[in-house]
Amino acid sequence: MAMQQAHKILKDVWGFESFRLSQEAVINRLLVENDNALVLYPTGGGKSLTYQVPAQCLEGLTLVISPLIALMKDQVDGLCRRGVKAANLDSTLDVARSTWVKQEVLSGSMKLLYVAPERLNNESFINMMSRVKISLLAVDEAHCISQWGASFRPEYLKIARFAEEMDVERVLCLTATATKEVADDICKAFLINPAGGVFRTSTYRSNLAFQVQVADTLDQKLNSLIPLLKSRTGPAIVYVTLQKQAVEVADYLRPHGLEPMVYHAGLPAEDRERVQNAFMSSEKGIVCATIAFGMGVDCPNIRQVVHLSMPKTIENYSQEVGRAGRDGLPSTCLMFLSPSDIPILEGFARGDTCAKKDMELWLQEVALKQPDTDGTINFNHYNQTKIYDIRQNVLNLLYAQLELDYNYIRAVTPFYSIYDISSKTADGMKKVMASTSPAAKAIRTYWMPKGGGYQIDVVTAASYSKLDRATLARQITDWEFDGHIFSKPSQVRVVCGITCIVAQSIPLTRSQRYAVLEPIPTTTAEIQNLATLMYDRMLKREEDAIEKLRKVISFATNDDCLPQSLASYFGEEDAVPGGLCGKCTFCKTGSGIEFDPAAEANPDPAQIRAILNACPDRDDPRLLARMAFGITSPRLMVSKLSTSHPLFGSMGSCDFNALVAAFDVECKKAGYAKSETSLSTPSSSYANKRTYSQTSSYQTTKSTRGGRGGGRGGGSYKRGRGRYS
């Protein structure tokens, strides 16, 4: 019966007579076998139908985790046009729309709800999910859960825990790019049986012609690109690495009778939407773009995908070339290899590794922070990135490790202080007035009339009523979920120690709150031990990223059919019949491309001295190497030694590790000390940062929270007994 209903929905809603590929087997796994599954389909392979159809067959809610707001909106718009009850819940919604979505979810009439993974930290959202039946959890871009993957996102690690705690009935993970290691990670996290729960479709598409060319300069690339673009019979995408390159290439192409559009993450949202829509509706449009372009682009007739800059991973390459020729007609995928591209790409890989001493200082701050009255600690991540010279995405990962690998903390919602309450119905407000709970009485005591409704500062009310702020906020949320009121929270609190203040005239930066689950080690030895464990993992991630870059070069230059080599990378050894596609560069020439990306192993002493003269600090050889190589960081930006400095990136052709070694010699001579100028400049974020040795004695003698040694190691978190066990 379940599969009959699925076929009926497929025909009535989508107009298709039958499923494609293994879609029917996936849906049977979910609906009939009631079990979890992993779908590995190439870009454009029809992954969405494998959860959109079951969503309409199941009684409860299908919750879809997706990383991009724009992609969520596109999916929701498409479903709504087909008459499917679907919505997205994100920060762009106004109060009325957000309230309507929540009410539809709580009433049970909403079939599909799309959210970003970050929303799983939201207390109000978790409260709402605990009230509904989640029949299916669909995890899009599931490769983001794996630290082996090219697009790892810390927030994805928490999805499996959410599924456990919410007693989700079944899980479907979806991705277009997963090696065996990544697929194994996904299966382990969501308890998917690889023997019967993994559904894969070959990455090989016979209509795509993979080509590789070597070019030493941008002019050489463009001289080959222009004739190719002029010969196109459909739209074309030209991928570059940097935002400025997208603009530069487009400007170069225009005098040659071509009218390219530009797309990158730095453009306003409305401009990106305009460019994407214009491209999808064009017959022969060209877009010069970073990898920000492509997600949600539903354009089956793309005839050319050009990597003017080499992709940093094979996963990226596979996903991007997968956008070409989805209609099955011949299409060209051209990649350029250039020695000058390597330092930029290596910079992306190297840039996330901070100094170990900075990690120790960060851990010290976290360990010594005294919890507020509600048992939480809070930190301004934006300020910490500058103070400790740790990039935002890396800082997020470090907090996630403390949460998931060591079980010290758990992220909770940054709290709001002000709530505007308005009546949804006269009867609803009567019920609010009649509520006799201590929290309800306190709210009514301390709220103030405002615009036909009320406004309350729950922090002030909590202080006067001796009730917890979270209890008051939960009461307001419960009234809203019960359909009695509308509520609008505002003014995220920035907390300093145990004193709460609300920023008024200055831009407000949200603090992140964490519940303390177990005492974090506080002695010098314990923090150093934990920092070593976490830092070693960071170095491993860096080397993994460099290895992925080397694999792209190897893929493009090996004596092997390119489509066969690509398929083999994803575990498909026999994807190409006979092992030769007959269309790629290797098949056409009979040999691989010659390309030598070797970097200089012996840095120029004069250039080393120039960097040392420009940056007087000697406490961090890696910082100096970053400046020389051209890898920006929060500290370099604060010191004005980043992209605007003439010496930034002046040694980009050198081996990065050789640079670190050369600067380490100089730092050792200076005793790894900051310059007096840096230490005496009060405007610098680093002037006020205590050294680890200055505070270690305080840690040892003042620790009142106990320690557990260096943590529990870097293993994956364990999930308790539940639906999946």
> pLDDT tens digits for 54-73?
999 999 999 999 987 777 88
Give the per-residue pLDDT at 677: 57
Residue 689: the pLDDT is 46
| Conformation bin of residue 713: beta by default, left when phi > 0, alpha when psi is -120 to 50 | left
**212 three-state secondary structure:** strand
Distance in angstroms (rounded) separating the CA atoms of residues 646 and 139: 45
Nearby residues of 693 by Cβ (< 8 Å), 6 or more positions away:
none
- In the chain, the amino acid numbered 380 is N
Rounded CA-CA distance 51/589 in Å is: 44
The residue to which tokens 């790892």 are assigned = 152
What pLDDT does residue 676 have? 63
Q: For 5-56, how does the pLDDT look when each residue is reduced to its tens digit (9 = 90+)? A: 999 999 999 999 999 889 999 999 999 999 999 999 887 778 999 999 999 9
Q: What is the pTM of this model?
A: 0.79
CA distances from 534 to 288, 360, 363, 621 (A): 38, 10, 10, 20
CA distance 678 to 615: 10
208-338+558-589 adopts what CATH topology? Answer: Rossmann fold (3.40.50)
| CA separation, residue 287 to residues 254, 264, 291, 323 (Å) | 12, 10, 12, 13
Q: In the predicted model, is pLDDT for residue 681 greater than 80?
A: no
pLDDT tens by residue, 589-617: 999 999 988 777 789 999 999 999 999 99
Domain ranges of the chain: 2-200, 208-338+558-589, 416-492, 605-689
Q: Partners of 470 in the beta sheet?
A: none
Q: Which residue has the tokens 């010594």?
A: 368
Does residue 693 carry a pLDDT above 60? no
Q: Please report the pLDDT score of residue 510 as a whole number.
A: 54
Q: Which residues contact residue 384 at a Cβ distance below 8 angstroms, ignoring those fewer than 6 apart?
A: 362, 365, 390, 395
Label residue 497 left, alpha or beta by phi (over 0 means left) and psi (-120 to 50 means alpha).
left
Residues 48 and 53: their CA atoms lie apart, in Å, by 9
C-alpha triplet 594, 595, 598: angle, nearest 5°: 145
Q: What is the pLDDT of residue 491?
A: 61
Tokens of 542: 């860096």
DSSP state for residue 483 in the 8-state scheme: T
pLDDT exceeds 60 at position 493: no
pLDDT at 705: 31
Q: Looking at per-residue confidence, does 484 or 725 come out higher?
A: 484
CATH 3.30.70.2520 is the classification of domain 2-200: no
Statement: residue 150 has pLDDT above 80:
no
Domain 2-200 identical in fold to domain 208-338+558-589: yes
pLDDT bucket at 329, cuts 50 / 70 / 90: very high
Residue 295 has a pLDDT of 73
Measure CA of the first residue to CA of the last residue in the chain; give whole Å. Answer: 27
